[in-house]
Amino acid sequence: MFLLLVFVLVLITIQLVRKRYVYWAERNVVQDMAYPLFGINWKSVFGGCSIAEIFQELYNKYSEKRYMGVYDYTTPILVILNPHLLKKISIKDFEYFMNHRPKLPKNVDRMWNRNLFNLVGTEWREMRKTLSPAHTGSRMKGMFVLMEECAKNFVQHFLQQDQDIVELDARETLARYTNDVIATSAYGYQCDSLKDENNEFYIRGLQTTDMSGLWKFIKFDMLRAFPWLGKIIKVELFDGDVTNFFGKIIEENVLYRIENKIERPDLIDLLMHADKSTSNGETVVSSMKENKEQNNGHQKKNLRFNIEDITAQALIFFFSGFGTVSSVLSFLTYELAVNPDIQKRLYEEVSQFRSKNDKLTYEGLGSLTYLDMVLSETLRKWPSFIRTDRVCSRSYTIEPETPDETAVHINKGDIIWIPIFAIHHDEKYWPNPEKFDPDRFSAENKMKIVPGTYIPFGIGPRTCIATRFVIQEIKILLYEIISTFEIVVTEKTLIPCQPYKKSSALLPGEGFWFGLQRRNS
């Protein structure tokens, strides 16, 4: 009897899995790589193939189509391949595709649920509106000084070393710079991670962004395959000791500023003075102070925007910026090391600027056009994320445009993927895409770029809110490095470079080493 029951259960499971994997075929959408339980992930899990390679293979195979169906483990996903359709979905019809795919079931991780990336609908709109002023030109100008100090500390640290060529692990070294920038710009916390290698802020940052290990695999992959597991095992994306550490820093920082009437051009200052109020009309800042006095720091009033909200936004700011920015810098230093002619041209622009200006300013940084071209090409060839996603919030129909198409009805809850990396490497839009060529972004050529084919920070209203912050952070460091050092290849530099294979973010893998050789002039 027991064996019969097991047999019946196996048959039912097989039938359910089969039905799951015909989701797109039943809608007359071409689909591929539907392998039981793993979907398109089987090559990544068992075949040693990177996620970028998987997407590139699929994209190249169906690039003449406007869309195709795949399966992320057992979840049906519609991949948008056509930039015109992508623009329509992400911009014109944004109301249908406003939200990101949730990584965890609701109410499992309160800190994750409250951050901007994970918020949905009206809550997302309100938080985006609140945070947007942190990334305006005036705010970036204020943060410029904080970032420049970190960049100068970085350069001075290696100038003090008595070596002809200082050999560095790109990702590890550059992550220390991004750590210090985020610490001072978002948290109001001062640290020098090159001098104090094991400072707690940096160590906690590594814990937050480390994607290795079995538990991390369960968090980030198994929950994609089986979202319902999140409710059963009550998994949290951010470890408790990490959130407690950052939460304590923020709470102490906020209350110190309130008591001492301190203002500073950073993210915490913006959130403290956000246009939010409590139910009885008190401002957030005065309410924090009152709660501190009356409740020994424990907030009991019905704040719409409180310490936990600030912590959640600052935590996702760190989570998103720590690894991705250091990765972009790693790929950028690699490309300059292996393309000395491009580096020479960049140095000439920087030298010419320095000969006419006493110091770098916010406005001056914006005038360095070739520097901007170099960074733009880096983000084209090595975008931070291989893909991004959207969830359909209400029924939507993609009308047919070619004889082989029929109307595709997308249901509420269906997920779409935007294959950023693959679009950036499509020869139709980017001739010889593997070549690192900043001239693609010259004033003349920029006008020829097809809309929807250059999307390193996403597309539409849900574009990364920190785009300006990231660009400024990278440009300042690059300016300071190029002014003082030549970036060179060393014996440890692996050519061609090998990105990390197991992540949907584009991260540097083994062999990302470079040398800093002091310039004579």
Q: What are the tens digits of pLDDT across the range 9-38?
A: 554 455 555 566 888 988 899 998 767 778
The SS3 of residue 369 is helix
Report the DSSP beta bridge partners of residue 296.
none
Q: Domain of 451?
A: 1-92+386-455
Q: How far apart are CA 60 and CA 328, in angstroms?
A: 25
**Whether the predicted pLDDT of 217 surpasses 70:** no
In a domain, 142, yes or no: no
In a domain, 418, yes or no: yes
Name the residue among 250, 385, 218 with its Cα closest to residue 315.
250
The confidence score (pLDDT) of residue 221 equals 66
> 455 near 418, Cβ under 8 Å?
yes
Give every CB contact of residue 218 below 8 A, 6+ residues apart in sequence.
235
The SS3 of residue 250 is helix
Q: How far apart are CA 181 and CA 482, in angstroms?
A: 19
The confidence score (pLDDT) of residue 258 equals 81
Q: Give the number of C-alpha atoms closer than 13 A to the C-alpha of residue 168, restricted to the C-beta side.
A: 28
> 135 near 467, Cβ under 8 Å?
yes
Give every CB contact of residue 91 below 8 A, 6+ residues apart in sequence.
459, 460, 461
Q: 287-324: per-residue pLDDT in tens?
A: 444 444 444 444 433 334 567 777 777 777 777 777 78
In a domain, 173, yes or no: no
Amino acid at 75: T
More confident position, 254 or 330: 330
Q: 381-424: per-residue pLDDT in tens?
A: 999 999 999 999 999 999 999 888 899 999 999 999 999 999 99
Q: How far apart are CA 211 and CA 116, in angstroms?
A: 21
The pTM (predicted TM-score) of the whole model is 0.88
In degrees and rounded to multiples of 5, residue 415 shows phi and psi of -115, 140
> 375 near 454, Cβ under 8 Å?
no
The confidence score (pLDDT) of residue 60 equals 93
The confidence score (pLDDT) of residue 135 equals 76
In a domain, 405, yes or no: yes
Token pair listed for 111? 């800190």
In a domain, 58, yes or no: yes
Residue 464 annotated as binding?
Answer: yes
Residues in the chain: 521
In a domain, 448, yes or no: yes
Span 108-135, mean pLDDT?
80
**Whether the predicted pLDDT of 346 surpasses 50:** yes
Q: The CATH number of the domain where 401 resides is what?
A: 3.30.43.20
How deeply is 160 buried, as exposed, middle or buried, from its count of CB atoms within 10 A (0-12, 13-18, 19+)? Answer: exposed
Q: How far apart are CA 326 and CA 332, in angstroms?
A: 10
Q: How many domains does the chain have?
A: 1
Q: 65-79: per-residue pLDDT in tens?
A: 999 999 988 889 999
In a domain, 512, yes or no: no
Q: How many CB atoms lie within 10 A of CB 300?
A: 8
In a domain, 244, yes or no: no
